[in-house]
Each structure stands twice: as C-alpha cells, then as structure tokens.
Homo-oligomer: A and B are copies of this chain.
Amino acid sequence: HILTSAYWIQPVITFFRLAAISIGGLLLLKFFNLVVERYFTPKPGAKTLYIDEKRARTLSSLLMSIIRYIIYFIIAVMVLQEFRIDTTSIIAGAGIIGVAVGIGAQGLIKDFITGFYIILEDQYGVGDYIVSENMAGTVEELGFRVTRLRDGNGVLHIIPNGSIGRISNYTRGHTQAVVTVPVSYQADIDKVLALLDKVCAEVGKSMPEVLAGPVVVGITDLGASEIIVKLTAKTVPLEQGKVETAIRHKVRTLFAAARIPPFCPGCPDSTAVAEAPN
C-alpha cells in the first residue's frame, strides 16, 4: 500500500488544499482590510465627517480585529476538517456564542441601521433643533451610533440612534408663535378684539423675526370665568419665543392704557385697574 501513488497523492493533495485555504483566508483578510479602509476609516482632510476622527479610527480598527479573528476561526475549522476531524461540536459552540452575542448586540445593529437611514434621508443635520420623545435640543454631533443634543439649559443629551423612531424637526421651515389672552366677561369683547388687531399690526411691522404678521384667530374658549382669545404668527424658526414675549408685552400695555377690566375673578378691587401703583 505504501508504495502506490494513491497512498502518496492524498497527503500531497491535502497539503495543496491546506495551502489554498490559508492563502484564500489571507486574501479575504486583505479584501476586508481594503473595504474597512475605504468605507469606514475617515480621510484626514474630509469635511463631511459626522463624528470626530479619533473615535472613528478606534471603531474601524476594532471592526478589523473582529473580522480578523472570525477569519482565523474559519480557517482553523477548515484545516481541522481537512484532517477529517469532526468539528460539529466546535461549530455548535461557536454558533451558540454567536447567537447569544448577536441577540445582545441587536440593539447595536439597530443603532447603526437607523443612524445610516437618518443620514441617508437627511432627517436632521448638525445645528438642527429636534425633539425625540422626552429630549429636545440642538444637534451637536450626528454619529452612526449616537446623536448628541445640547438643550436650552446647556445639558448634553446622548441618544442611541436605535431609540430614535419619530422625530420632530423644528428648523425645516417656519415656527408658529402662539399667544393666548384671557379676557374678562365684564369687558366689551369687540373693543378687546380691536385692541388686539392693533397689537398685531404694531408687532408685525416692528419685528423682522415675523414672517407673516400676527393675526387674531378669535375666541377659542368660553371658560367658566374668562374668555380666551388666541393670536398666532409665523416666525423665523426658533424665534417664536421672542415674538410671543413682544406680543404679550404690547397686549399688557395697551389693555392697561385702555382700562380693560381685569379678568381675575378673585381680584380685590376690580375697578381700580393699573392705577394702584400710581
């Protein structure tokens, strides 16, 4: 048996196959290296960088390590199989670890997929003011895994993209200023509405933040002790607060001047409006 060609050919073939498997693995490693280099490693001079460069480098080298160990594992198993060693138990073990890690890491995968879609669909960009469930703020950094918001109080909110479902973007278009004015039942409603029209005209003229002059919408509620009148205005995004305070200040000043009776039912001296301090 030992001298037949078949006896010697088998090891030679096995040797060549092992060589082929090793070389194939190395080529595959090279290929993934190039892919990671090309798609995931930040270019030094690139300006459309969503996350800062150092963190991106850490992530891409981490990704490369994981790929390398997986390829090593596959080559090792294939070499064992060439020697006719049953690898079912190894593959089953790796499979269970793979499923466990996969289930634990599904949040991660969801983060990346959602992050990819946020960028692809341009749902929001750096500098936009967005609201996502209980958090709101200006986008400071839009990464593949997390979005960082800075809110009006200076707090930094960090949101995993996977938990971003529904988004409200306040900086695509205009914003609306809304002011509600409580009016007493003892006041002449038509006189009040005329005064409010005057407020609208003055604010609309004097403020550049107003896109479409404030208008009196009308009576929006007949309450138990007061009438509610609503005013609205289209404003430059995020400037509605400024417009609203201006309208309220003007309303207060004009009402006091016109001696509109106060609408607070428990106020002690209702006829002496705005005179007390004088």
**Given A88-B91, A91-B88, A123-B158: A96 and B102 interface contact (C-beta under 8 Å):** yes
Which single member of B91, B110, B273 contacts A107 (CB below 8 Å)? B110
| Contact A249 B102, beta carbon cutoff 8 Å | no
* Stretch among A40-48, A166-174, A202-210 lining the B interface: A166-174
Closest to A270 in B: B268
| Contact B260 A277, beta carbon cutoff 8 Å | yes
| Contact A251 B268, beta carbon cutoff 8 Å | no
A87 to B176, CA, bound (A): 61
Does chain B have a CB within 8 A of A86? yes
Contacts of A157 in B (CB 8 A): 166-169
Stoichiometry (number of copies): 7
Contacts of A90 in B (CB 8 A): 74, 78
Rounded to whole Å, the gap between the CB of A195 and the closest CB of chain B is 12
Q: Which 8 residue pairs of A and B lie closest in terms of their CB atoms, listed nearest first? A: A218-B245, A104-B109, A100-B102, A225-B264, A96-B98, A219-B248, A265-B266, A153-B176
* Interface positions of A (Cβ within 8 A of B): 1, 5-6, 17, 21, 55, 58-59, 70, 73-74, 77-78, 81, 83, 85-110, 112-114, 117, 120-121, 123, 131, 133-135, 143, 145-146, 150, 152-160, 163, 165-170, 172-176, 178-182, 185-191, 217-227, 234, 237, 240-242, 244-246, 248-249, 251-253, 256, 259-278
Known pairs A78-B90, A105-B113, A225-B266; list 11 more (Cβ under 8 Å): A55-B120, A74-B89, A78-B86, A104-B109, A104-B113, A154-B174, A155-B175, A158-B169, A159-B166, A189-B249, A219-B248
